[in-house]
Amino acid sequence: MKILICISNVPDTTTKIKFTGDSTEFDVAGVQWIINPWDELALTRALELKEKTNGKIEKISVVSVGLKTAEPTLRKALAIGADEAFRIDCEAKDSNSVAAQIAEVAKDYDIIMCGIEASDYNGSAVGGMLSEFLNIPSVSSVSNLDIENNDILISREIDGGAEILTTKIPFVAIVQKGIAIEPRIPSMRGIMMARKKPLNVVSPIEVENLTEFVSFELPPSKAACKMIDAENVKELVDLLHNEAKVI
Amino acid sequence: MNFNFTEEQEMIRQAARDYAERELIKDVLERDEKAEYPTQHIKNLSELGFLGMLVDPKYDGGGMDTVSYVLAMEEICKIDSSVGVIISVNNSLVCYGIENYGTEEQKEKYLKPLARGEKIGAFLLSEPEAGSDATHQRTTAEDKGDHYLLNGTKNWITNANSGSIYIVVAQTHPEKKHKGINVFIVEKDSPGISLGQHEDKMGMRSSDTHSVMFTDVKVPKENRIGEDGFGFKFAMKTLEGGRIGIASQALGIASGAFERSVNYAKERKAFGTELANHQAIAFKISDMAVKIEAARNFCLKAAWLKDQGKPFGVASAMAKQYAADIAMEVTTDAVQIHGGYGYVKEYHVERLMREAKLTQIYEGTSEIQKIVISRSILKG
Ligand SMILES: Cc1cc2nc3c(=O)[nH]c(=O)nc-3n(C[C@H](O)[C@H](O)[C@H](O)COP(=O)(O)OP(=O)(O)OC[C@H]3O[C@@H](n4cnc5c(N)ncnc54)[C@H](O)[C@@H]3O)c2cc1C
């Protein structure tokens, strides 16, 4: 069995978000890039499965659509334990084009894992689109993935409970919370071995972008806290009524 | 000239940071309070390869350069210098000494388990009456033909209890003074070795420090490192590299206190505005940043020289003296910025201040670094 993990290269979750170019572009100056947290957990689960199934999983690959700046992120995935990486050499524009690009390298994999969303644009669309391009099933909101004998066992979180299901391979698993507990920290040995593992640069295919950013808006900044004297209930009611307009 | 880090160096820094922020932070206060050794952390960090990160992969090490080591030490010591010093002694004193000056057999037998972190090493140079002046070794190593007989007491030994492989410096030919000193690899469980009480320290309380007594301890001849009389030179050469570890530790202590101070100054209000808006505090932040940046450059320069195979002894003495001294200043300011909160344990900065003090003392006090630096300038 072969597993492919789709990896999005995203700004560190503590990044201060700013925009340039008339609020149409995210300002990447000084940004620290990381593996999208869900994708990192997907990789963690793939490695756990590889270890526990003893030879059943012959290869774990990772793929990212992005420019050379995405390579440190892929190299880290290799250091954590992936066997091989692909970088599709173009900017990740919209979900449709990303899914179309990934579909090109995903053809001979049995399990394709995507995070439920990327922490940058929170699109939540690539996984589903990818399965359409490949014409294979997809399972969303996967909170556990297991291989027992030759069966795939999946848990999905649903409102108020869980759903256990199985699927044929190949398929796309769109993973979320629960898929693995904590991402792994690369070891020195892993970092050393990552030097020698293949990081293949793939030319992109022609594909149309279906959507385009018009502009971004930051949420309004929080208003300062107003202190009202405990004696002055009337003022409080007045403010809640006329200023905050909550009562 | 190039100030960029490689992808790999960044990855190591991030790995160290992740471990410190996810794991070390959880129990660092408790271990400090109870003076408890970080057994599980050292096991985890060994598995990640930090305990032997500088050692050649041929001897089961991580094969990383000294620049990476500085980055890793800074990140770990921002949170926990006790763990930092355990890593530093193992890597830059014990492993470095055996790798550079040991025989193939010694490397096979001792370096490999040390590099894997399965065994921890200790470096035994200081004595009750020989600290800064390490030439006056009272511990003796009598040549008995096929073995040496060790007698004496070593003081202030980091990893004395947790470690099991000792590098011991002792006098064989007192008439030759420091040229008669030898150095040996000694297994801790050899008959005749006993430990003193665990020292009740001001800081770095989670690392173990003991005195070690030797009474007629037999050491096989093949455990001597280098030629007869090489011991003092060995100690000085090894400490040159060790200083880069302690300098980066001091750097980490300073930058840990700095990060906490910046956050605090942005949040805490006094006189109707954040502390950061009072220039007296803003200027302190600026002074701290300048000192830390200078210390970081010192550390990286010394590491770079070492990686290039160039002489680095003076550079590492400068790095150690400067980083240790500014760590004391920066952590003192950090406590000041935190006000009363800085004086209690919960806010970490008082602990960092206690830790900073040690970096001015061990592996050569700040005064001794000045002797090393000034002699190198004035001798010619
Ligand atoms: C927690 C801890 C861990 C340690 N770990 C180890 C270890 O693992 N292995 C090991 O071998 N040692 C270790 N040491 C010992 C440490 O390296 C010594 O304490 C240090 O070298 C200073 O020696 P001393 O304590 O004897 O002080 P002294 O040498 O007595 O110095 C006292 C003061 O006099 C100053 N002074 C001395 N000579 C001069 C001079 N010529 N000119 C100007 N000033 C001078 C010193 O700078 C210092 O301020 C450790 C110490 C501590 C506290």
- Same domain (yes/no): B276, B207: no
What is the ipTM for the molecules in this complex? Answer: 0.88
- Same domain (yes/no): B301, B339: yes
Does residue B1 fall inside a structural domain? no
- Same domain (yes/no): B40, B69: yes
Furthest-apart CA pair in chain A: how many Å? 73
CATH code, B128:
2.40.110.10
The pLDDT value recorded for residue B85 is 98
Which of residues B57, B81, B116 is at a domain's end?
B116
Which of residues B232, B256, B275 is at a domain's end?
B232
The pLDDT value recorded for residue A242 is 86
Chain-chain contact of B11 with A189 (C-beta, under 8 angstroms):
no
Chain-chain contact of B53 with A185 (C-beta, under 8 angstroms):
no
- Residue positions counted in chain B: 380
CA atoms within 13 A on the CB side of A197: 24
The pLDDT value recorded for residue A14 is 82
CATH architecture of A2-218: 3-Layer(aba) Sandwich (3.40)
Distance CA A2, CA A126 (A): 20
The pLDDT value recorded for residue A216 is 84
Helix or strand or coil: residue B338? Answer: helix
Distance CA B258, CA B265 (A): 10
- Same domain (yes/no): B105, B126: no
Going by the DSSP 8-state scheme, the letter that residue B2 receives in this structure is -
Q: What is the percent of chain B with per-residue pLDDT over 90, rounded to a whole number?
A: 99
* Shortest alpha-carbon distance between residue B116 and chain A (Å): 11
pLDDT confidence bin for B315, thresholds 50/70/90:
very high
Q: What is the mean pLDDT of residues A220-243?
A: 83
- Same domain (yes/no): B84, B133: no
CATH code, B79:
1.10.540.10
| Ligand 1 pocket at CB < 6 A | B 89, 123-126, 131-132, 156-158, 201, 209, 358, 361-363, 365, 367-368
pLDDT digits (tens, 9 = 90+) for B102-141: 999 999 999 999 999 999 999 999 999 999 999 999 999 9
Which of residues B65, B98, B116 is at a domain's end?
B116
Helix or strand or coil: residue B141? Answer: strand
The residue whose CA is least distant from atom 4 of ligand 1 is: B156
User: Does pLDDT of B248 surpass 90?
Assistant: yes
Is B267 assigned a catalytic role? Answer: no
Q: How many domains does chain B have?
A: 3
Judge whether B15 is closer than 8 Å to chain A, CB to CB: yes
Q: What is the mean pLDDT of residues A125-133?
A: 93
Looking at per-residue pLDDT, the higher value among A237 and A247 belongs to: A237
CB neighbours (10 Å) of residue B364?
A: 26
The pLDDT value recorded for residue A143 is 94
Chain-chain contact of A182 with B22 (C-beta, under 8 angstroms):
yes
**Owning domain of residue B258:** 236-378
State the DSSP string of chain A: -EEEEE--EEE-TTPPP-EETTTTEE--TTPPEEE-HHHHHHHHHHHHHHHHTTTS--EEEEEEE--GGGHHHHHHHHHHT-SEEEEE-S----HHHHHHHHHHH-TT-SEEEEES--TTT----HHHHHHHHHT--EEEEEEEEEEETTEEEEEEEETTEEEEE--PSSEEEEE-TTS-SSPPPPPHHHHHHHTTS-EEEEPPPP-----------PPPPPPPPPP--TT-HHHHHHHHHHTS---
Does residue B42 fall inside a structural domain? yes
Does residue B52 fall inside a structural domain? yes
Does residue B99 fall inside a structural domain? yes
Q: What is the mean pLDDT of chain B?
A: 97
The pLDDT value recorded for residue B40 is 98
d(CA B132, ligand 1 centre) in Å: 5
Distance CA B377, CA A211 (A): 66
